[in-house]
Structure 1
Amino acid sequence: MSTTQRPQSARSRGATRVSSQPPRERVRTGQVVRRRATVRRVDPWSVLKLSVIFYFCFLLVVMLGLTVFWSVVINIGIIDTITSFLADLQLELAINGSNIARAAFLLGLLNVVLWTGINVFLAFLYNLVADLLGGLRIELASEE
């Protein structure tokens, strides 16, 4: 039996392929590339998740702002001034900050549910209109 040796290919020797032509470079600058996209469908489940997260974070920011505002009002003494003025008029007023904060938070939760529902309804409505009209066409432009 005779054994024949095959010459090793460039890949098996670990050599890299070298081209005789220099690599092409994009020299054109300032050229605008335009791409068109069409939004045909919006997933209502994704709208629901994103809306709940967005509106709940918005609620937390509003609650933090109200807390800072209430702290400033208490430290300035506006509440004490108002209650003493009303006491001079023979009126009694008791202000409980925790009840006000609880009511604001429950009202905010109601708004989270309400606006999330509105966004999901609008997603369904968009899908119906997009089926009839073909969707929203967007042209994206980027400069290279």
Structure 2
Amino acid sequence: MGTVAYQQSDSAQGQAGTRQQAGGGWGARPNSPAGAPTGAPRYQQQQAPAAAPRGRKARLRVAKVDPWSVMKTTFVLSIAFAVVSVVAAALLWSALNALGVFDSINHTLASVAPANQPNSVTLTSVLSFGKVLSFTALVSVVNIVLFTALATLAAYLYNMCSSLVGGIEVTLADDTAS
């Protein structure tokens, strides 16, 4: 590692500061005031061009994705999605039940069914609250396992492909200050 020298602009010559000495150390400036701090570098102040300011850009390449971190992240996100799904199913079932949708459908089915058969199966018995939540929880557990496994597999496949073609290039840029 080399020594980094910081320069100070001409407009700040009279201000207190430090500069790098020939031996590589930092020392006080000969014309700095008596109480000026020593040891802190001064950065060169650059004037912005007359045109509109432009942000910095950096071109980066995603060459490798860690499969372990992908698996952990996908697992946590899948659990969060499962919780949201179960809560959404419970709220939806409660809202439909409060609005009387199930009773209305049961009444319609009873009027359509033949008169000589008793109406033993109702929509509320098939779509009870417990059955709906059990089914949603089962689907959520299957989704957790599948999403985690598929995302980890995708990370391995991405690593193999990026070793052949070099990965994905991403250009990052600063927001321009106006």
TM-score range, shorter chain: 0.7 to 0.9
1:84 corresponds in structure 2 to 107
Per-residue deviation, residues 77-112 of structure 1 (Å, max 9, x unmatched): 111222233334243222321022111111111011
What is the aligned length?
132
2:54 is the counterpart of 1:31: yes
State the secondary structure of the residue aligned to 2:56.
strand
Residue type at the aligned position of 2:148: T
Q: Measure how far apart 1:51 and its partner are.
A: 0.3
Query: Any gaps of 5 or more consecutive residues in structure 1?
Result: 1-8
Residue type at the aligned position of 1:99: K
After TM superposition, the score normalised by the length of structure 1 is 0.78
2:144 corresponds in structure 1 to 112
2:13 corresponds in structure 1 to none
Q: Measure how far apart 1:17 and its partner are.
A: 3.7
1:4 corresponds in structure 2 to none
2:98 is the counterpart of 1:75: yes
Q: Which has the higher contact order (CA 8 A, sep 6+)?
A: 1
* Structure 1 or 2: more helix by fraction: 1
Q: Measure how far apart 1:45 and its partner are.
A: 0.5
Q: Measure how far apart 1:25 and its partner are.
A: 5.0
Per-residue deviation, residues 31-84 of structure 1 (Å, max 9, x unmatched): 221111111110000000000111111121122211111111111111122223
Query: Any gaps of 5 or more consecutive residues in structure 2?
Result: 1-26, 29-33
Q: Measure how far apart 1:126 and its partner are.
A: 0.2
Identity of aligned residues (%): 27
Residue type at the aligned position of 2:172: L
After TM superposition, the score normalised by the length of structure 2 is 0.64
1:6 corresponds in structure 2 to none
Q: Note the aligned Cα RMSD (angstroms).
A: 2.7
Residue type at the aligned position of 1:46: S
1:131 corresponds in structure 2 to 163
1:16 corresponds in structure 2 to 37
- Separation in structure 2 between the aligned mates of residue 22 and residue 30 of structure 1, nearest angstrom: 20
Residue type at the aligned position of 2:70: V
Candidates 102, 105, 130, aligned match of 1:98: 130
- Separation in structure 2 between the aligned mates of residue 81 and residue 114 of structure 1, nearest angstrom: 38
